[in-house]
Every structure is written in structure tokens, then in C-alpha cells.
Amino acid sequence: MPGTAGERGRRTDAHKGAGGMAEPEFRATGVRIGKRLRSLTRAGQVRISGGRLELLTSYGSEIDSAPVQAVRASKPWFGPDDRATADLNGNRYLLTLGDHDPAPGEPGPPAARRFIEAVRRAAGRGD
């Protein structure tokens, strides 16, 4: 199964529906997730599915999740282009995604800009 603990590559493809599960609206793997100055995972997953945003470790354990309407996603004021912040349940997480979208068919995390757009689109906050 893609995304197993032994997999080290970065992937951006959506989970191919198994057992009737809906495909995620957004999925990124190989994402560094931090909280304040502490790194929580260097190869985590970010997923938007079923109206929820989930932050997961590389092993698939949940770090945090919240309804996408309650999530605030933005770019840090003075940060590199590959970073985004996500405020969930009163906690601010720093996400390090790709600095640009990977070429079609190439592995790699999507750009932070695409993550922010996906959160806004899923929450119905405009395009």
C-alpha cells in the first residue's frame, strides 16, 4: 500500500479509493511538520478529506485534525516559499512543503501555495 512506514519517497497522488473511501481533496507526503521550534515529523502527511484537515506522522498516526472550516492556513510573513502555517484547535503548525509544484509524474510535495488554496476551496472561502 502506498504510504507505508518503509516508504521514503515523497508522493502527491491521491489514495486510490479502497473499500469505497472517498479520495482526498488534497494530499501531500514528505512534509516537515513543526510546532513552535520543535519538529514533530520530517516526513509527515497533510490530507484534506471529507471536510477535515489531518496532519499525520510518517507512520500515519494523527498529530492533529480539525474541520476545514475551523482551519486557518497562510504563508508566514518572512518565510521561504516552501512554508505554510496551519492553525488547528488553537495550535499553530509550520508546514514545509515544496517550493514549487513537481513536474507531472514526478514525486515531491506540492507547493505551499497549493495547500493554502486547497484549504480555502474545501472550506468554501472562495477561489
pLDDT-wise least confident of 34-43, 74-83, 88-97: 74-83
Q: What DSSP string describes the chain?
A: -TT-TT--S---PPPP-STTPPPPSEEEEEEEEEETTEEEEEEEEEEEETTEEEEE-TTS-EEEEEEGGG-EEE--TTS-TTEEEEEETTEEEEEE-BSSPPPTT--SPPBHHHHHHHHHHHTT---
Average pLDDT estimate for 96-121: 80
pLDDT in tens, 4-45: 444 434 444 444 334 445 566 899 989 999 998 899 999 999
pLDDT-wise least confident of 60-64, 65-69, 115-119, 121-125: 121-125
Residue 10 has a pLDDT of: 40
Task: Report pLDDT for 107.
Answer: 66
Confidence (pLDDT) at 11? 42
- Mean pLDDT of the 111-117 span: 89
55-76 per-position pLDDT tens digit: 999 999 999 999 999 999 999 8
**What is the reported pLDDT for 62?**
97
Global pTM reads: 0.74
The reported pLDDT for the residue numbered 110 is 72
Q: Which residue has the higher pLDDT, 99 or 97?
A: 97
